[in-house]
Homo-oligomer: A and B are copies of this chain.
Amino acid sequence: MPNEDLRSLICDLARSFYDLGWVSGTGGGICIRDEDRVVVAPSGVQKERMRPEQMFTLALDGSIASRPDDPSLRPSECTSLFLKAIHLRNAGAVIHSHSIHAMAATLLFENEFSISHLEMIKGIQGMGYHDTLVVPIIENTAHECDLAEALEEAILRYPATSAVLVRRHGVYVWGADWVRAKTHAECYEYLFRAAIEMRRLGIPTRFEGA
């Protein structure tokens, strides 16, 4: 897909994520990789009103390959975190959501979110219905960029995960391409919300047998 279209796609997806409540208050974001380039939105902009000409294109080392004309724009603060998933997992796209369900899930679990025996677990790469889905939770930091080290550690310690939760903050989700990253993000969102619902109804999130 040419860069032009990727830029429009990011704007489209960001608008859709805004409607889902994932990127309100200029929080959250998305990047999409195109071979040795990564297209990423600027920092602190309104996610539902972004325009293609506001996008940055980065090299894989994070250096800026092309930038928007508006000199006040800087690349998303999530960039160093996005690059971790790209380098360590060969991600084709990374989504950062501030969904209230992702955030609340980190209040209900200690070091790992875990859930089993829900059909939507199948939507996560490599996972089946009977598997226990585990998502590591890292502690939040004062500055987004300071999360990069903890994110890297969690990715290395949980080689099967496609997401890392950040305590009292949200979640980073990735996939082999933007479609799979988005599918993952929708499945995790459902599972976080389901876990909260189950907790409220007094039902354990890990199935203990019939």
A-B contact pairs, 15 of them (CB 8 A): A24-B190, A25-B190, A26-B183, A27-B120, A27-B187, A98-B190, A100-B190, A103-B194, A104-B197, A107-B203, A129-B140, A129-B141, A129-B142, A129-B168, A168-B207
Residue of B108, B169, B182, B198 near A119 (CB, 8 A) is B169
Interface: A52 (CB within 8 A): no
CA separation between A182 and B90, bound complex, in Å? 36
Contacts of A118 in B (CB 8 A): 103, 168-169
Interface: A117 (CB within 8 A): yes
Question: Which residues of A pack against B, CB within 8 Å?
Answer: 16, 24-27, 46, 48, 98, 100, 103-104, 107-108, 117-120, 123, 128-130, 140-142, 166, 168-170, 179, 182-184, 186-187, 189-190, 193-194, 196-201, 203, 207
Known A27-B187, A100-B190, A108-B201; 17 more pairs at CB < 8 Å = A24-B187, A25-B120, A25-B184, A25-B186, A25-B187, A27-B120, A46-B179, A100-B194, A100-B197, A104-B197, A104-B201, A107-B198, A107-B201, A119-B166, A128-B142, A129-B142, A200-B201
Asked whether, in the complex, the Cβ of B193 is within 8 Å of the Cβ of A100, the reply is yes
Among A141, A184, A190, residue most surrounded by chain B Cβ atoms (within 10 Å): A190
A30 CB, min distance to chain B CBs, angstroms: 15
Among A103, A108, A166, residue most surrounded by chain B Cβ atoms (within 10 Å): A103
Asked whether, in the complex, the Cβ of B190 is within 8 Å of the Cβ of A123, the reply is no
Contacts of A119 in B (CB 8 A): 27, 98, 103, 140, 166, 168-170
Contacts of A187 in B (CB 8 A): 24-25, 27
Contacts of A197 in B (CB 8 A): 100, 104, 196
CA separation between A180 and B141, bound complex, in Å? 23
The residue of chain B having its C-beta at the shortest distance from the C-beta of A12 within the complex is B49
A146 CB, min distance to chain B CBs, angstroms: 10
Asked whether, in the complex, the Cβ of A200 is within 8 Å of the Cβ of B200, the reply is yes
Contacts of A170 in B (CB 8 A): 119
